[in-house]
Amino acid sequence: MKDMAIFTGAGVAIATPFDENYKVDYDSFGKFIDFQVENGTDAIIVCGTTGEASTLNHPEHINVIKYCVDRVNKRIPVIAGTGSNDTHTAVYLTTAAEEAGADGALIVTPYYNKATQKGLIEHFSHIAGKTDLPIILYNIPGRTGCKLESKTIARLFKEVDNIVAVKEATGDIAFATQIMYDTQGDIDIYSGNDDMIVPMLSIGGKGVISVLSNIAPKATHDICAEFFAGNVEKSRELQLYYFELIKALFCEVNPIPVKKAIELMGFFGPHLRRPLTEMEPETTERLKKAMIDTGILK
Which residues have CB under 8 Å from 266's CB, separation 6+?
none
> Are the CB atoms for 60 and 16 separated by under 8 Å?
no
Q: Is residue 284 part of a domain?
A: no
- For residue 261, pLDDT beyond 80: yes
Is this structure's pTM higher than 0.75? yes
User: What percentage of the chain exceeds 90 in pLDDT?
Assistant: 98
167 counts as catalytic? yes
Instruction: Tell me the C-alpha distance between 208 and 54, whole Å.
Output: 22
- For residue 2, pLDDT beyond 80: no
Instruction: Tell me the C-alpha distance between 231 and 225, whole Å.
Output: 9
CATH number of domain containing 35? 3.20.20.70
Q: Is residue 285 part of a domain?
A: no
Mean pLDDT of 32-41: 98
Specify the DSSP element, H or E, that contains 173: helix 173-182
Q: Is residue 258 part of a domain?
A: no
- Specify the pLDDT at position 3: 76
Note the pLDDT tens digit of each residue in 171-180: 999 999 999 9
Note the pLDDT tens digit of each residue in 68-81: 999 999 999 999 99
Considering the candidates 26, 118, 130, 138, report the single residue annotated as catalytic: 138
- Specify the pLDDT at position 219: 98
289 counts as catalytic? no
Instruction: Tell me the C-alpha distance between 179 and 231, whole Å.
Output: 25
**Torsion angle, CA of 170/173/176/178, rounded to 10 degrees?**
-130
Mean pLDDT of 200-207: 98
Q: Is residue 151 part of a domain?
A: yes
- For residue 1, pLDDT beyond 70: no
Considering the candidates 167, 206, 259, 260, report the single residue annotated as catalytic: 167
Which residues have CB under 8 Å from 81's CB, separation 6+?
45, 46, 47, 48, 49, 51, 53, 105, 106, 107, 108, 138
For residue 77, the enclosing domain spans 9-231
Q: Is residue 203 part of a domain?
A: yes
Split into its structural domains, the chain has a count of 1
Q: Is residue 84 part of a domain?
A: yes
- For residue 4, pLDDT beyond 90: no
Q: Is residue 113 part of a domain?
A: yes
